[in-house]
Amino acid sequence: MKTIAVIGAGTMGNGIAHTFAQSGFIVKLIDVSEKSLDKGMATIAANLDRMLAKGTITQEDVAKTITNIITYTDIKDGVVGADLVVEAATENVELKLNIFKQLNEACSHNTILATNTSSISITQIGSVVAHPERVIGMHFMNPVPIMKLVEIIRGYNTSDEVTKIIMDLSEKLGKVPVEVNDYPGFVANRILMPMLNEAIETLYNKVAGVYEIDTVMKLGMGHPMGPLQLADFIGLDVCLAILNVMYEGFKNPKYAPCPLLVNMVRAGKLGVKSGEGFYDYSENKKAEKISKQFI
């Protein structure tokens, strides 16, 4: 594998592009507008600078990583010649099915098609392409350049061969891949999201404030970040989408999203990416101060 196409240059897509490019792969980064691509590339540059300042990479690594990434606004142009496509667009089932239908037309049948979805069925995504045995979940964690885990999700039709290729590839990126099966939320979010939702419910019920809830979980449970701050980092829209997939998928009220979360997403308060969630990130410095703890 040499060339990887990454679809979506948002929170996860730019991290995935960064990680592959830093490991020497040619990355074709695709998003719907130049503006989104510029924002993604600016984030990659800022994260590389931070790693350089910490001494974890060299100036040469920075330059190579940036040159390994080429940007595209057209999906067909972007996926030409890719050995692997990693889709990391918005968490929306219709949008992802539409992207995979386009990939089915634009890519050769040998191209492995991975999705970074947090919760949408890999089997359902695979159902819209010929040869669904090449469709697999490659669920990176945020921030991608730092977090070691990749949850590898086998759809109903995913082949052993494709699973092995993707497990080996994840190791080449310096990650630890873990193989799981395709049920709503997989493993990571099936366990994490009910906890984040419960923290939001605790706030909604006025049991305690944002600072108090996060401090209890940080200092009392040894979590590196409180659940409300983590929800802001993940994106409240992403959290809501994942909870809804689990709620529908299991038909179980324990996954019902808290009304406060629903309201905040409706109001456009999406966390770090919109400048406000449970915390205020409106002053650039403030948001930067928080993200610096993790990169």
Give the residue numbers marked as catalytic.
118, 139, 151, 189
CB of residue 198 vs ligand NAD: minimum separation in angstroms? 18
If one asks whether residue 7 binds ligand NAD (CB under 6 A), the answer comes out as yes
DSSP 8-state secondary structure symbol assigned to residue 141 = -
Task: Using the minimum distance from each CB to ligand NAD, give the nearer residue, 22 or 118.
Answer: 118
Tokens of 199: 């923290």
Site size for ligand NAD (CB under 6 A): 27
Binding flags for ligand NAD, 33-52, as an x/- string (CB under 6 A): ---x----------------
Binding flags for ligand NAD, 63-102, as an x/- string (CB under 6 A): ------------x------------xxxx---x---x---
> Which among 85, 89, 88, 78 is positioned nearest to 28, based on CA atoms?
78
If one asks whether residue 184 binds ligand NAD (CB under 6 A), the answer comes out as no
Binding flags for ligand NAD, 228-267, as an x/- string (CB under 6 A): ------xx--x-----------------------------
DSSP 8-state secondary structure symbol assigned to residue 293 = T
Can you spell out the DSSP letters for 161-207? HHHHHHHHHHHHTT-EEEEEE-STTTTHHHHHHHHHHHHHHHHHTTS
CB of residue 89 vs ligand NAD: minimum separation in angstroms? 4
Can you spell out the DSSP letters for 55-104? TSS-HHHHHHHHHTEEEES-HHHHHTT-SEEEE---S-HHHHHHHHHHHH
Q: Among residues 6, 17, 27, 30, which is the contact residue for ligand NAD, using CB under 6 A? A: 30
If one asks whether residue 10 binds ligand NAD (CB under 6 A), the answer comes out as yes
Pairing of the two strands 149-154 and 176-181: parallel
270 Cβ neighbours under 8 A, 6+ residues apart: 235, 236, 237, 264, 277
Where does residue 218 rank: exposed (0-12), middle (13-18), buried (19+ CB within 10 A)? middle
Q: By CB under 6 A, which span of 8-16, 177-185, 243-251, 254-262 interacts with ligand NAD? A: 8-16
Tokens of 184: 């709503």
Q: Among residues 5, 6, 12, 103, which is the contact residue for ligand NAD, using CB under 6 A? A: 12
Binding flags for ligand NAD, 103-122, as an x/- string (CB under 6 A): -------------xxx----
Task: Using the minimum distance from each CB to ligand NAD, give the nearer residue, 9 or 69.
Answer: 9
Q: Among residues 5, 9, 213, 217, which is the contact residue for ligand NAD, using CB under 6 A? A: 9
If one asks whether residue 136 binds ligand NAD (CB under 6 A), the answer comes out as no
Task: Using the minimum distance from each CB to ligand NAD, give the nearer residue, 214 or 237.
Answer: 237
If one asks whether residue 22 binds ligand NAD (CB under 6 A), the answer comes out as no
Phi then psi for residue 113, to 5 deg, are -115, 110
Cβ contact 7:78 at 8 Å: yes
> Which among 71, 79, 74, 75 is positioned nearest to 40, based on CA atoms?
71
Determine the residue with CB nearest ligand NAD: 10
Instruction: Enumerate binding residues for ligand NAD (CB under 6 A).
Output: 7-13, 30-32, 36, 75, 88-91, 95, 99, 116-118, 139, 142, 234-235, 238, 273
